[in-house]
């Protein structure tokens, strides 16, 4: 029978349910439908580049590599991560071109990337994605999203200059960063390029002391500036990499750059050139392989897969990259795979 | 009249109710937040494992009570 006390009890149960439902809607972002989330970020990649099932939504064109890292022990002074103890750890990774088109022609303007997975003796993993530019053009997810839309090629295959100008006006940090990027010449290939973490991390030493840190992979191969005009082979960069490794392993030095209090954790801003740099050891890349199920293809190079001894800073790009990579990874994992445009055993087969 | 559950069971019940609701909210917030994704994942994972352990404990004590 419905008495007043039982009505009150029913009402309070309804009230609790309503509060739970409202908090759920708030947490899900349904109260702010236009906001930028990771699904929308990846939707925008698909809108700008077209849908290429099975491929990464960004850095879509690439090859896998394997090798090892010889630590010289010097990194241990700022981080207790086992990767910095004296010794060798196996690595695999991926060279790629920035951009979401898996068959894009290699060209002088494409940003080149190196992603590395270190497999540590205690079972931990360290994954890092680096680019051959000195700073990143944007400082956060919104800037990245704005840039994607602003630089979308129009019918003639070129970005609309008015939209690019509007983007640069709205993002002065991007205009400054792009000027810095244009001031550093690209190298002629993958093997003689230096790749930078761009984002900022923190190293933790064995006493728990935290130090701001960025890192670079500095090529042992001598720098040569890239040719002004791209060769006709659409895969000339990847073909040259395979040819280089056919002659023997290529090497890089992992250099940890030590930040000081007050150094920016904004990836558009460089650190002063005089920051202490620790050469932590040498990366050796021995072979490259066409992307396949048993190599780097199905790996998400999430920049927040970090061993104890390295932690994220408050750099806004880190969480955003991790979140967006997860959506890209989930989508492509459920899609049928098409062979990569780069077939290592078939050079010159470009695009 | 049913015998009331022991105090510990009742406390655990409500703590777990709060934890499961928190999981739901953190989970849905996590997949829609670029800025807090990482922070939320680092709560979501251990909390989920804790709920799993508690549910396993609850189930096993329930089964033991039924056998008895």
Domain boundaries, chain A: 59-134+186-345, 136-183
Contact B34 A141 (CB under 8 A): yes
Q: By the CB < 8 Å criterion, does A27 face chain B?
A: yes
Smallest CA-to-CA distance from A312 within A301, A304, A320, A324 is with A304
**Nearest CB neighbour to B28, from listed A28, A141, A322:** A28
Residue A231: pLDDT band with limits 50, 70, 90: confident
Residue A99: pLDDT band with limits 50, 70, 90: very high
Q: For residue B62, what pLDDT is reported? A: 84
Above 60 in pLDDT, residue A351?
Answer: no
What's the whole-number mean pLDDT along residues A174-199?
A: 96
Q: Which residue of A has its CA nearest to B34?
A: A320
- What is the rounded distance in angstroms from the CA atom of residue A53 to the CA atom of residue A98? 17
Above 80 in pLDDT, residue B7?
Answer: yes
Q: Provide the 8-state DSSP code for A133.
A: S
In tens, the pLDDT along A237-262 reads 999 999 999 999 999 999 999 999 99
- List chain A residues with CB under 8 Å of B39: 319
Cβ pair A91, A116 in contact under 8 A: yes
Residues whose CB is less than 8 angstroms from the CB of residue A94 and which lie 6 or more positions away in sequence, other chains included: A59, A62, A63, A64, A65, A113, A114, A115, A291, A296, A299, A301
What's the whole-number mean pLDDT along residues A72-92?
A: 97
Smallest CA-to-CA distance from B53 within B19, B24, B10 is with B19
Tokens 């909210």 appear where? B25
Tell me the CATH number of domain A59-134+186-345, given options 2.40.180.10, 2.40.50.180, 3.40.50.261, 2.40.160.20: 2.40.180.10
In tens, the pLDDT along A13-72 reads 999 999 999 999 999 988 888 899 999 999 999 999 999 999 999 999 999 999 999 999
- List chain B residues with CB under 8 Å of A23: 25
Q: By the CB < 8 Å criterion, does A199 face chain B?
A: no
CA distances from A105 to A114, A180, A304 (A): 18, 25, 30
In tens, the pLDDT along A180-189 reads 999 999 999 9
Q: By the CB < 8 Å criterion, does A89 face chain B?
A: no
Scanning A266-295 for CB atoms below 8 A from B yields: none
Residue B3: pLDDT band with limits 50, 70, 90: confident
Q: For residue B4, what pLDDT is reported? A: 83
The CA-CA-CA angle for residues A44, A48, A50, to 5°, reads: 105
- Of A135-139, A214-218, B36-40, which gets the smallest average pLDDT? B36-40
Cβ pair A278, A84 in contact under 8 A: no
Q: By the CB < 8 Å criterion, does B17 face chain A?
A: no
**Nearest CB neighbour to A38, from listed B21, B34, B39:** B34
Q: By the CB < 8 Å criterion, does A333 face chain B?
A: no
């Amino acid at each position: 029978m419905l008495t007043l006390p039982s009505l009150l009890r029913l009402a309070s149960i309804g009230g609790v349910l309503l509060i739970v439902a409202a908090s759920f809607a708030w947490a899900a972002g349904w109260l702010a439908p236009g906001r930028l989330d990771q699904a929308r970020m990846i939707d925008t990649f698909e809108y700008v580049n077209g849908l290429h099932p099975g491929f990464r939504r960004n850095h879509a064109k690439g090859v896998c590599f394997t090798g090892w890292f010889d630590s010289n022990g010097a990194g241990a002074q700022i981080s207790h991560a086992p990767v910095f103890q004296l010794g060798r750890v196996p690595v695999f990774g991926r060279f790629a071109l920035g951009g979401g088109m898996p068959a894009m022609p290699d060209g002088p303007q494409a940003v080149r990337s190196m992603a590395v997975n270190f497999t540590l003796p205690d079972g931990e993993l360290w994954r890092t994605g680096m680019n051959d530019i000195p700073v990143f053009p944007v400082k956060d997810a919104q800037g990245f999203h704005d840039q994607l839309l602003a630089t979308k090629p129009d019918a003639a295959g070129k970005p609309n200059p008015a939209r690019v100008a509007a983007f640069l006006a709205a993002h002065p940090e991007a205009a400054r960063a792009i000027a810095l990027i244009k001031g550093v010449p690209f190298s002629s290939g993958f093997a003689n390029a230096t790749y930078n973490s761009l984002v900022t991390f923190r190293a933790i030493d064995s006493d728990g002391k935290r130090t701001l840190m960025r890192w670079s992979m500095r090529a042992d191969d001598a720098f040569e500036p890239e040719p002004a005009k791209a060769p006709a082979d659409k895969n000339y960069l990847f073909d040259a990499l395979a040819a280089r490794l056919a002659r023997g392993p290529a090497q890089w030095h992992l250099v940890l750059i030590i930040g000081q209090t007050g150094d920016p954790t904004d990836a558009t801003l460089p650190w002063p050139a005089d920051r202490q740099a620790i050469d932590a050891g040498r990366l050796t890349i021995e072979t490259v392989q066409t992307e396949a199920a048993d190599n780097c293809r199905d790996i998400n190079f999430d920049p927040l897969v970090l061993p104890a001894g390295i932690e994220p800073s408050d750099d806004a790009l880190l969480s955003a990259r991790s979140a967006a990579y997860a959506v890209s990874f989930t989508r492509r994992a459920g899609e049928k795979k098409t062979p990569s445009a780069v077939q290592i055993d078939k050079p010159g087969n470009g695009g | 009249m049913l015998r009331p559950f022991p105090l510990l069971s009742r406390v655990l019940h409500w703590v777990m109710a709060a934890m499961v609701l928190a999981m739901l909210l953190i989970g849905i917030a996590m997949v829609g937040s670029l800025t807090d994704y990482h922070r939320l994942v680092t709560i979501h994972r251990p909390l989920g494992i804790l709920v799993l352990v508690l549910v396993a404990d609850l189930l096993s004590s329930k089964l033991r009570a039924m056998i008895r």
